[in-house]
Amino acid sequence: MEANMTATAELKKRLRPGQVYRRKDLARWSNAIDRHLRLLLDEGRLEKVAPGLYMAPRKTRFGSAPASPEKLVETFLGDDRFLMVSPNAYNSLGLGTTQLYNEPVVYNRKRHGHFKLDGRPYDFRMRASVPSSLNVEFLLVDLLHNLGRLAEDKAAVLPKALSRARSMDRTRLARAVKDFGSARAARLLEPVLADDMAASD
């Protein structure tokens, strides 16, 4: 009993408020991980946020603060090479889109499918190449790639998107198309990028 209490206390010392852990990570510090997880969950030292995924809650005066989406996703993937995109960001392109979406898209190299993390839905999509940061060129390419999934009037959005593309840096736009690897976006943007090539001849 004393040894079990000592092992549990040692595991507690490893926990950092707001941090997310995979079961196998916690198992490195435990000789009876399932028993220790039950104890820590019962005590409120850990919260289960997805199968095999746990968060050490960070207390605030309003209660437990949720883990950051970035920490949840990185721990879930076991990889920091991902890009999270909210379709709500399309509204910043000035194309007249106004719909709000509840499910962020996570471009990554490991997982594909819809998963709930800490009660929130995420749409994981695998890509061979994942850009390291989000910019307006990538956002436009992403919108064109997902045009068929939008709740907006596609026939109204497409010409506005192509017009917006013509005002962008063509080199960065071409790189975004290449990095994203979307044949659909490349096809739609071909006239814009071809105009640029013709102008440079």
Q: Which domains does the chain have, with CATH numbers?
A: 2-65 (1.10.10), 69-193 (no CATH)
> Could you tell me if 55 and 119 are in contact, meaning their C-beta atoms sit under 8 angstroms apart?
no
pLDDT of res. 10: 78
SS3 35: helix
Question: Please, which pLDDT band fits residue 37 given cuts at 50, 70 and 90?
Answer: very high
Token pair, residue 67, equals 């883990």
Q: Angle, nearest 10°, between helix axes 136-145 and 170-180?
A: 50
For the segment 158-187, the average pLDDT, to the nearest whole number, is: 90
Q: Is 199 left (phi over 0), alpha (psi -120 to 50) or beta?
A: alpha
pLDDT in tens, 71-117: 999 999 999 999 999 989 999 999 988 888 889 999 999 999 999 99
First to last CA, the chain: 80
In the structure, how many helices (H) and strands (E) does the chain have?
A: 8, 9
Q: What is the DSSP secondary-structure string of 22-86?
A: EHHHHHTT-SSHHHHHHHHHHHTS-EEEETTEEE--EEETTEEEPPPHHHHHHHHHT-S-EEEE-
The structure's pTM equals 0.82
Percent of the chain with pLDDT over 70: 94
Residue 81 structure tokens: 């090479």
CB atoms within 10 A of CB 165: 21
- Return the residue matching tokens 């040692």: 10
